[in-house]
Amino acid sequence: MSSALLVGSVIAGVIGAVSIGPALLHGELGVGVLVAGAAVAYVTGASGWAAGRLVRSSAGKGSLRTRFNLTGLLFVLLALCLSATAAVRDADWFVVSALLLAVAAGSYGASGGRSWPEVLGGGIAVFPAVGLMVPWAGRGAYRSMSSGRGTAWPAIRTGLIAAGLIGVFGGLFIGADAAFGTIASGLVPEVSPGSVIVYGMAGCGVLLLASAGAFLAQAPPPLRILVPDPAKPAGRWSWAVPIAALDLLFLMFCAIQAGVFLADDKDKLLRSTGLTYAEYARQGFFQLVAVTVLVLGVVAAAKRYAPSAERTDRVMVRVLLGLLCALTLVVVAVALRRLYLYEETFGWTRLRLWVHAFELWLGVVVVLVAVAGVVKGRTPWLPRAVAATGAVAMLILALIDPDGFIAEHNVARYQDTGKIDVPYLRDLSADAVPALDRLPEPERSCALRSIALDLDDNEPAMSGNLARSRAREILDARPADMNVNCPGWLRSY
């Protein structure tokens, strides 16, 4: 590990301690996660660009190679954008999922690779890299400290001098101006035995993450050895007949769904099944999701074993698999239509929104597979495209505001039907406050008072969050009645 990267990782750890530490101490993530994420991304990017030098291939010949290419930069930027969700959204279930995906995206961005094993393995490579990079970083630190030529100690010494000067003059400015002191008090972390432990854990975590990212950018895992050798093509009819039979089954299913969808009296049509249309909409949704996932496996296997030497074989592959992908999109549409009808009847929940988004993403993956494997015939970009669309889908969901979306639709449903599940809505996060604020009393106060009690008016600056700030403004203007009597509304989900 070079001295510059060592200093960068230490600085990232200090930034993580003062930005994430206070947030963890108060139990509220915020803009500090984005600040620490930017520090980690900078160290990882610097290491990747520094690795664009003469490297030796497995055959022992030298070649100029930039390990950290445009794809790596894109995924590191996606990881940084995903970390920003902690600054704008309050829903823990969503923010934690986005941060885990950010770690995976950044890990792959540092590792690189094109094949499926490299994309999937690169996404989790950061975890073994935390252990593997310890001797690498240790040797770099030893050389920097002992050789006298390194830049680590001068940088540390400079940082200590700067911190001392800021402490002395900052203290004088705080005593001289009350407004400056108020702002500075939000930036200065709380110091106590317990807080020091929390800050240290946060700093060490960010230090390890930055060092692991730097390590992966210079020593990506050799996952290419996991790429299987080209398969021996099967006979033309041994693969074409099963795929054609599957196409016919899908055609039959789509025809039945079209009949149900176009029927004037849907309940009369389904009376023989003993189900209402709402029950029919709910039934089988997860089976249809499983169908979508399995089709992707079938297409992958068919592309691997289908013959391609003759033009007739290539045309047959494209026709049969293209038809299967097109019919799969119909299945995706049917599944989404069923879930939407059920959501409109019984309301939205986090699980329903999550699986709705997942099925939509699967539809995008099917389109990518059809374009890459059926139309183009080549798939070198497909694994990276699928991974990128997953990260982009999470960002789109962040823009939609999951808890706010759920509250918005349930409030609209209440205005239309008079039905509402207040016990469920009051467990939502501060993201839902703008929508819940439109409820009449006593439903409004019953839905908002749990959220109001969880909002901390004295949160540190690094826990700053757009959703919580907006919720405080609304509740300050119209406080929730903490003494209102909340009846037990019937749960309807």
Clarify whether residues 128 and 177 are in a common domain.
yes
267 and 250 housed in the same domain: yes
Residue 284: per-residue pLDDT: 63
Q: Which residue has the higher pLDDT, 195 or 388?
A: 388
Digit-coded pLDDT (tens) for 88-100: 999 999 999 999 9
Tokens, residue 284: 């089988």
| Residue 424 and residue 362 share a domain | no
* Domain identity same for 411 and 384: no
User: Is 485 part of a structural domain of the chain?
Assistant: no
In a domain, 484, yes or no: no
What pLDDT is attached to residue 47?
A: 84
- Given a contact cutoff of 8 angstroms between Cβ atoms, the answer to whether 307 and 236 are in contact is yes
3 state DSSP class of 64: strand
pLDDT band, very low/low/confident/very high, at 52 (cuts 50, 70, 90): low
Lowest mean per-residue pLDDT among 46-55, 119-128, 287-296, 458-467: 46-55
How many angstroms separate the Cα of 206 from the Cα of each of 95, 103, 132, 185, 190? 18, 11, 16, 24, 19
290 or 191: which leads in pLDDT: 290
- CA distance linking residue 278 with residue 288, whole number of Å: 17
Query: Does 186 have pLDDT greater than 50?
Result: yes
Work out the pLDDT band at 156, boundaries 50, 70, 90. Answer: low
> Which is more confident, 20 or 302?
20
Nearest to 451 by CA among 437, 466, 463, 465: 437
Task: Output the pLDDT for position 48.
Answer: 78
Q: Which range has the worst mean pLDDT, 193-197, 337-341, 375-379, 468-472? A: 375-379
Whether 431 and 467 have beta carbons less than 8 Å apart is answered as yes
Q: Is 162 helix (H, G, I), strand (E, B) or coil?
A: helix
| Mean pLDDT in residue range 313-336 | 84
Inside any domain, residue 60 = no
Same domain, 271 and 372: yes
If you average pLDDT over each of 34-43, 152-161, 213-222, 274-283, which comes out highest? 34-43
Confidence of residue 415 (pLDDT cuts 50, 70, 90): confident
Pairwise pLDDT comparison (235 vs 98), residue with the higher score: 98
One domain for residues 313 and 380: yes
Q: Is the pLDDT of residue 360 over 60?
A: yes
Within 10 Å of residue 174's Cβ, how many Cβ atoms? 16
Q: Residue 36's pLDDT band (boundaries 50, 70, 90)?
A: very high
User: Is residue 160 located within the same domain as residue 306?
Assistant: no
Residue 381 has pLDDT above 70, yes or no: yes
Residue 101: how many CB atoms within 10 A of its CB?
Answer: 22
Token pair for 361: 């993403």
From the list 211, 222, 214, 221, the residue with the least C-alpha distance to 49 is 214
277/157: higher pLDDT? 157
- Domain-terminating residue out of 198, 226, 254: 226
Same domain, 372 and 412: no
pLDDT over 50 (residue 308): yes
Which residues 6+ apart lie within 8 Å of 209 measured at CB? 12, 40, 103, 126, 130
Rounded alpha-carbon distances, angstroms, from residue 299 to 243, 271, 302, 308, 369: 9, 36, 5, 15, 8
Residue carrying structure tokens 């749990």: 450
Q: Give the per-residue pLDDT at 490.
A: 41
Tell me which residue range forms the domain holding 469.
403-477
Looking at residue 464, what is its pLDDT? 85
Residue 269 covered by a domain = yes
411, 479 in Cβ contact below 8 A?
Answer: no
Within this chain, do residues 113 and 219 fall inside the same structural domain, yes or no? yes
- The verdict on 412 and 376 lying in the same domain is no
pLDDT recorded at residue 66: 45
The answer to the question of residue 361 being in a domain is: yes
Asked if residue 491 is part of any domain, the answer here is no
Residues 247 and 203 in one domain: no
**Domain annotation covers residue 243:** yes
Count how many Cα atoms sit within 13 Å of the Cα of residue 139 in the half-sphere of its side chain. Answer: 6
| pLDDT tens sequence across 55-110 | 444 444 444 344 557 888 899 999 999 999 999 999 999 999 999 999 999 999 88
| Length of the chain in terms of residues written | 493
487 confidence band (pLDDT: 50, 70, 90): low
Mean pLDDT of the chain: 79
Distance CA 109, CA 384 (A): 10
Q: What is the mean pLDDT of residues 379-389?
A: 86
Comparison of pLDDT for 238 and 265, the residue scoring more: 238
CA separation for the pair 84, 426 (Å, rounded):
25
Residue 84 counted as domain residue: yes
Q: How many CB atoms lie within 10 A of CB 183?
A: 12
Instruction: Say if residue 100 is in the same domain as residue 215.
Output: yes
The amino acid present at 123, given as its one-letter code, is: G
The count of structural domains within the chain is 3
Q: Which residue has the higher pLDDT, 75 or 183?
A: 75
Quick one: average pLDDT of 391-419? 91
